[in-house]
Amino acid sequence: MQRNTSFFSVFQASLVFLLLVLGSHVAVAASPDPTEQIRPFLAKVTATLAEPGLKSKSRQEQSDRMISVIRERFDFREMSKRVLGQQWRNLSDKEQAEFEDLFTQLLQYVYVDKIDDYSGQQIQYTLQRVKGDRAEVQTLLVDKNKSIPIFYIMILRNDQWMIYDVVVEGVSLVRNYMEQFNEILRKNGYSGLIKQLKDKIAELEKNLNKS
Amino acid sequence: MMNNQLDCVERQIRRLCLLFAMMAMMFSGHVVAAVELSGEVASSEKFAGAVDFLSDESYEKPTSDVQVSDPIEPFNRAMFTVNDKFYIWMLEPVSTGYSKIVPGDIRACIGNFFYNLGEPVRSVNCLLQGRFRDAGKTLGRFFINSICGVFGLADPAGDEFEIPPIYASFGETLSVWGVGDGFYLVVPLLGPSTLRDFSGTVVDGVASATYTPWNDDTLTTATAQGAKTVNRTSLHLGEYVEIKSMSFDSYVAFRNGYYQMRSKQYDHSTSSK
């Protein structure tokens, strides 16, 4: 009898353990796979860059087209929040919205610039890391004579992994702008930062129209 | 005539000695690797300055690991401008012309060749840092690429044997030994560095000069260095100008970029797994 109970409790324990293992697997499966979500998105971005009609369109149309694609999986609000760090909380709602809008406009030039350069480079997915509602998808942009490691840092928002930072060869875009913005904020305050952002966007627009 | 022959013999002897030294190093690497396997030396420990992008801390306190004292900022900014002008007026036009004459595949091969010549120095640095497995791998890369890759023009070690390039420099060795950065330093013609890392670069340069064939006179050395730089630049045309055009204070942008890139290079936690 004694042996039976012990056997039974071991059986029970292993059943519980099994359920736990299974349960944790189910829980993992419930949150979507970041690579599976980013893969079609990046495919769409490269397909858009390679669109035959895009190069002949006006610069304004090009950037509108790019930004509409990129908005799908970029969380520009999260990006703006992080790039300003602790300063973000000191801003009013209106100021936050204004900054987000300008910062988004600035970042679209990163991609608009690529329209002329893109020549069918392939993207390899090397590794992914998930920690709670954060994920890092490591990719390799393979060019003819070099390959560039690009990591996408993402946050989970209602079942959708949204990008809030891009790390190219170890250099995080957000952290790089953060240091620059911090200096501007320290020297010229928020109004100075907004002015510099507007100037930069105007300058980039002028250069684009020239080329 | 006699003199020439003597020279030749002397060179052969020098080469043989070098080969022996390298083989000795490789074997010692193996022995220590075995020791390491049984003892699990803490070399796989994560580098202290490594950034985990998934933790919010790296964003909240972005400057804690990147901020380095920059007491000679006015000098550095001046040097940054000098380098900028040098790049725009000299390096970029020359590299652009070169890239139009020499096809990309060949330029990639030339890049491989120069990189391969640095492998023995990298291997020694790995040893000095206690990264014994990396030391063996780097030396293995050197032998495979020198023999199967036609003097390092190709990278069969990376492509076929799946031993990717491993970063190591004397600047890093000094940091492992506990030497601090000192301060940020923009070196003329060389770019962003720190006092420690620049000293390391000098040591690495002197070390590789002992076995590279073009150090008989200054002109040849300068030509080799120039060729290496132009070739490298030709593979990265447009990148510098693009980063500059996207930045608000390009001096700060490149300083920050240098530190971020370096902390990735010094972090071997992913490559050692």
Spatial contact of B200 and B169, defined as CB atoms under 8 Å apart = yes
| Measured CA angle at B67 (ends B64, B68), to 5 deg | 125
Spatial contact of B122 and B131, defined as CB atoms under 8 Å apart = no
Average pLDDT over residues A38-61: 85
Shortest distance, CA B3 to any CA of chain A (angstroms):
45
Q: What ipTM does this complex have?
A: 0.80
Does the pLDDT value for residue B253 go beyond 70? yes
Q: Is residue B51 within 8 angstroms of chain A, CB to CB? A: yes
Place of tokens 């039976």: A4
Give B91's DSSP letter: I
Spatial contact of A152 and A45, defined as CB atoms under 8 Å apart = no
Token pair for A126: 């090397």
DSSP H/E element including A165: strand A160-168
| C-alpha–C-alpha distance, residues A74 and A54, integer Å | 21
**Residue B255, CB-side half-sphere exposure with 13 Å CA sphere:** 25
Provide the 3-class DSSP secondary structure of residue B193: strand
Nearest Cα to A166, choosing from A87, A80, A79, A88?
A79
pLDDT tens per residue, range B4-37: 665 655 665 555 545 544 544 444 444 444 434 4
Nearest Cα to A197, choosing from A112, A120, A83?
A83
Please state the φ and ψ torsions of residue A156, each to the nearest 5 degrees.
Answer: -85, 120
- Among candidates A82, A85, A180 on the partner chain, residue whose Cβ is nearest the Cβ of B248: A180
Residues of chain B positioned with their CB less than 8 A from the CB of A169? 261, 264
SS3 letters for A21-86? HHHHHHHHHHCCCHHHHHHHHHHHHHHHHCCCCHHHCCHHHHHHHHHHHHHCCECHHHHHHHHHHH
Q: Is residue B162 within 8 angstroms of chain A, CB to CB? A: no
Task: Please list, in sequence order, all residues whose beta carbon lies within 8 angstroms of the beta carbon of residue A108, skipping any fewer than 6 positions away.
Answer: A63, A66, A67, A70
Strands (E), B117-262: 184-187, 191-194
- Among candidates A151, A196, A207 on the partner chain, residue whose Cβ is nearest the Cβ of B248: A196
Give A168's DSSP letter: E
Residues of chain A positioned with their CB less than 8 A from the CB of B248? 180-181, 184, 196, 200
Question: CA separation (Å) from B6 to B9, B10, B11, B17, B19?
Answer: 5, 6, 9, 16, 20
Residues of chain B positioned with their CB less than 8 A from the CB of A176? 247, 253, 256-257, 260
SS3 letters for A96-163? HHHHHHHHHHHHHHHHHCHHHHCCCCEEEEEEEEEECCEEEEEEEEECCCCEEEEEEEEEEECCEEEE
The answer to whether the Cβ–Cβ distance between A179 and B256 falls below 8 Å is: yes
Question: Quick check: pTM over 0.90?
Answer: no
Nearest Cα to A140, choosing from B250, B263, B158, B240?
B158
Shortest distance, CA A15 to any CA of chain B (angstroms):
34
Token pair for B50: 């490594």
Shortest distance, CA A192 to any CA of chain B (angstroms):
12
Please state the φ and ψ torsions of residue B102, each to the nearest 5 degrees.
Answer: -100, 125
Residue type, A132: G
Task: Compute the CA torsion angle B126, B132, B135, B136 (nearest 10 deg).
Answer: 180
Does the pLDDT value for residue A24 go beyond 60? no
Average pLDDT over residues A83-101: 92
Give B219's DSSP letter: H
| C-alpha–C-alpha distance, residues A200 and A107, integer Å | 11
Tell me the residues of A at the B interface, defined by beta carbons under 8 Å apart: 82, 85-86, 106, 109-110, 113, 117, 127, 129, 131, 134-136, 144-146, 151, 153, 165, 167, 169-172, 174-176, 178-184, 196, 200, 203-204, 207
Provide the 3-class DSSP secondary structure of residue B188: coil
The answer to whether the Cβ–Cβ distance between A82 and B59 falls below 8 Å is: yes
Q: What is the pLDDT of residue B136?
A: 94
Mutate to test the interface with B, among A145, A185, A203, A204 (most CBs of B within 10 A): A145
Nearest Cα to A140, choosing from A156, A152, A123?
A123
Spatial contact of B174 and B182, defined as CB atoms under 8 Å apart = no
**Least trusted range by pLDDT, from A157-161, A199-203, B40-44, B183-187:** B40-44
pLDDT tens per residue, range B40-91: 333 333 444 567 787 776 676 655 455 678 999 999 999 999 999 999 999 9
The answer to whether the Cβ–Cβ distance between B248 and A207 falls below 8 Å is: no
Does the pLDDT value for residue A68 go beyond 50? yes
The answer to whether the Cβ–Cβ distance between B249 and A180 falls below 8 Å is: yes
- Among candidates B54, B107, B257 on the partner chain, residue whose Cβ is nearest the Cβ of A171: B257
Q: What is the pLDDT of residue B80?
A: 96
Q: Which residue of B has its CA nearest to A145?
A: B108
Nearest Cα to A126, choosing from A156, A145, A151, A160?
A151
Q: Which residue of A has its CA nearest to B107?
A: A145
Q: What is the pLDDT of residue B174?
A: 95
- Among candidates B55, B104, B265 on the partner chain, residue whose Cβ is nearest the Cβ of A144: B104
Does the pLDDT value for residue A210 go beyond 90? no
Task: Please list, in sequence order, all residues whose beta carbon lies within 8 angstroms of the beta carbon of residue A113, skipping any fewer than 6 positions away.
Answer: B242
Residues of chain B positioned with their CB less than 8 A from the CB of A129? 54
**Least trusted range by pLDDT, from A11-15, B15-19, B181-185:** B15-19
The answer to whether the Cβ–Cβ distance between A176 and B260 falls below 8 Å is: yes
The answer to whether the Cβ–Cβ distance between A204 and B264 falls below 8 Å is: no
Average pLDDT over residues A154-166: 93
Please name the residues between 237 and 266 in chain B that touch chain A, using a CB distance below 8 Å. Answer: 238, 242, 245-249, 252-253, 256-257, 260-261, 263-265
For residues B51 and A75, the model is more confident at: A75
